[in-house]
Structures are given as C-alpha cells and as structure tokens.
Structure 1
Amino acid sequence: MTGMKVKEVAELIGVSIRTLHHYDQIGLLTPKETTDSGYRLYSDENLEQLQQILFFKELDFSLKEIKEIINSPSFNRREALLLQKKMLIEKRNRVDKMIETIDKSIKHIKGEISMTNKERFEGIHFKHNLYEQEARKRWGDQPVDEVNIRLKNMTDDEQKDLSDKWTAMFNTFALLINQSPKSPEVQTAIKEWFDFLNENFGEYSFDAFYGLGQLYIEDTRFTKNIDQYGEGLAKLMSDAIKFFIDSQKKG
C-alpha cells in the first residue's frame, strides 16, 4: 500500500491529527486505505479533497455545507476551484480596503490627515439587505422596521456573522447552478434559505417567499445582485422557490 499517514498529512498542512480524525468520523474525509497494522493512509485523491475542504473553510463554509457540496453528484473540482479563486479574490479586495482604512485611521490619529465619517468605514459594510424600499412597498412598514431594529441591536460580530452566513449561502447556490431547480440538492438549499430569512429578517409566509422569488427575476436590482455569484443564479433560485412553495402547499 502507498499513501500518507495521518501524522504526515497533519504536519504537511498544519492541522491537528484530531481534526483529521474528526473529518473521518463525520464522513467528510475518509482515508482511502488502512494497513494491516491499522494505520490509515491518505491517497492523492484524499489530498485533493482535503485541499477543497480547506479552501471552503477559509471562505467560511460550515463542515456540514462542505460535506453536502463535495458529496453532491454534480460536484466538479475544476468548477469549484474557479469559484473559490473568484471568492478569495473578492475577500482579498475587501481585506485590502480595510487595511487601507486602518492605515488612514492611524495617520488621522497622528494628525497627518483628516478623515471624513464616510472614509472611517470604507471596506466595512453590512451590505446585504432585502432592498428596503421594495420590501416596504410589498409588505408594509412594520416588518421592515422590525428587521432594522433587530440589525441595529446586533453587535459588530453578530452582524459580521450574519453577513458571512448570507454570503456562504449564495456561494452554495452558485455551486448548484447547473442543477435542476427541482433537484434534492437545490431544494435543500432553498429550504435553508427560507429558514434563514425567517430566522433573521422577520416572518416570511409562503406567499411572501414566492413574491421574493419573483423579484429575483422581475427586478433588475435583485437579478444583478444575485447573478454576481453566478450567471443565471437568480433564475435558478426563482424557479426553485416556486417549486418549493408548490410542493409545500400540496403537502
């Protein structure tokens, strides 16, 4: 048998042996072979899969999400790498902007420059919203006001966590872009999206969720914002929401 032992892999990539054992226990990364003496050996294929896992972790995907993605029949390693590259570049650009803001802030403290309030927060944005004006028009002021109050009462860390979860969910959808909106994987993601909206942005009835799905393709602002994660994603999500609602009502 050929392959790398757990200790060798842990030393190669700088993770603990315990982490690799955990990945094995939850079925995320199972060594290809086991020697007669009980040593687990990682193949080149295992290492390729581990690389994908670590890239997704760097992009704030949960282990549960990563497992669902890489075990999907439609998973394509090359497509995943291209998407991960795009996401990492976007993350780098955000970090670079925040570093630039920090440098300016230091100069401001030293009296070398004067910063405007807008400049203080460049690169630091909780930018995801449900297009407040449109939401008010369709569902009234009260639910929108409740969401705004909830967001204002969040700490910076809580807002960042919510923003990261939002981005991670759309990145998950992007990996499913070539699937049918009726596929189990897409429908599972849509159910998670429905639950996420209800948990964080007020109560969404089936009718309200259906209306939101229609906005994804009828309102160019929504379409542009969603399709930045993948061309045609707004259409996929809209169709998937319609199928999800129809299924729920029939059930």
Structure 2
Amino acid sequence: MDKDYMTIGELAKKMKTTVRTLQFYDQKGLLIPSMQSDGKRRLYTYQDMVQLHQIQSLKSLGFSLDEIKNQLEVLDTPEKVEKALSHQALLIQEKIQQLTKTLSDIKTLKEEVIQMQSVNFKTYADIIVNLQMNNENYWVIKYFDEQTLDYLRRRFNKDSGLSFIEKFTQISQKVLELKNQGVDPLDERVQVLAKQFWQMVEEFTNGDMSMLPQLMKFNELDDQHEWAQQQNQVNAYLQPALGLYFQKAGIQLGDE
C-alpha cells in the first residue's frame, strides 16, 4: 500500500478515536475515505486526517454532526485551509470565553453558598439567574427575605429586571456625580434625580409601600462591595432632597 494512505485502523490510532467512529462518519457522509483498496478497505490521506481533526474539534465544542457537516469545506487550496483553521480558532476562542464565564459563575456561587451558611436552593437559583444576566450586584439577593424574593420573581423577568437595573444604576451615577461636584442636596438638579429615584422605588415595589422597611435595611449594609458603599452615599446624599420632594408632592410615609 502507498505510504501516503492510511488504513482505517491506522487513522483511528493516530487520531485517538475508534474504527467504529470512523465507519459511522463515513456512513453519515462526514468523512468519506479518499479511496478503497482492491479488497474494499477504506484508505485515508493526510488531508482526510486534517478534516477529521476539524470534525473532532467542532464536536468537542458541542456542535451536532449535521452542523459540523454544513461547516466543513473541501481543503484543496491554502486559502481554504487558512479559512477553515481561522474559523475553527474563532469557535474555540468563543468556547473558552463561555467556559471561563461558567467557571467564574461556579466559583462565585460557591462563595455565596459558604457565606449564606444555609441551604436555600431558591436563592441559589436566583443568584444563578443574575449571574447569567451578568448582573454584578447578584450578591444583594441574599439580603432579601423570602417574601421579598417571591415578590421579585413574580414582578420581574430577565428583560424587565435588566432594564430596571440599568435605569437605577444610571440615576445613582448621576447622583454621585452631583455629590462629588459638591452640589447642595436641595439644588433643583438633585430634586429632579430625587423624583426619578422615588419613581424607581415605586416601580420596584409596584406601589406597595409595605416593602419599604425591607428596602431600608440596605442603608445598614456593612458590605465591602463597592456598590453597597456607593449606594449608601447615594441614599445619604438624597435624603434631604427626598424630604423636600415628599413635602412638595404631599407624600406621607408614616413613621417610615
């Protein structure tokens, strides 16, 4: 047999796979041997070997055999080989990023489980959902009681939750900018933000002011997270502005 050809057994050994797998790929039209011997034995070339490497790489990334078949190209020119390898490298890089994110989420969830010192799978699930949303303030969840968490699960979905977080973050950042500029809390610009801030509270609670005591507890957070420290500054700075806004709007919160 010509030295440039490999039997199915030789190719399987070189590529650390099985003869049965290569036979299956042949049946699926995924990797057809370049020729057959007089005895009808499958014979493969080094080009087939490179294509098998493509198949194995794409399969390891989670692609189905049908998806892989649609992505394979005939590697008959240097340009096509370069294009195929570039595409393969891009897919692998994307997979690395996904796996890195998944590993980070697992480590983060592990840390939260240790801190909580209790088994609560509903809260675990909430943390996982927020990690998938790339919500950096996922850790806040563990400070909510079960009643508030149940409310939030009903009140927000992924899209509305992300939208709320984005709007709230923007308002808080504007408040901090005015604070850092030394603007008086009773300034009209702060009053505008105080109104927007309160509207966010009303949106969050859906008008149920009985939730305020639970939310007020966040003013007492002794947490090292940057968000907690910044939010404490926002709340303290806005307090006079909110008081004036409530007075003008005729809003009474009772003892709260």
Larger-gyration structure (1/2): 2
Is the TM value for this pair above 0.5? no
Range into which the TM-score falls when normalised by the shorter chain: 0.3 to 0.5
After TM superposition, the score normalised by the length of structure 2 is: 0.41
Q: Which has the higher contact order (CA 8 A, sep 6+)?
A: 1
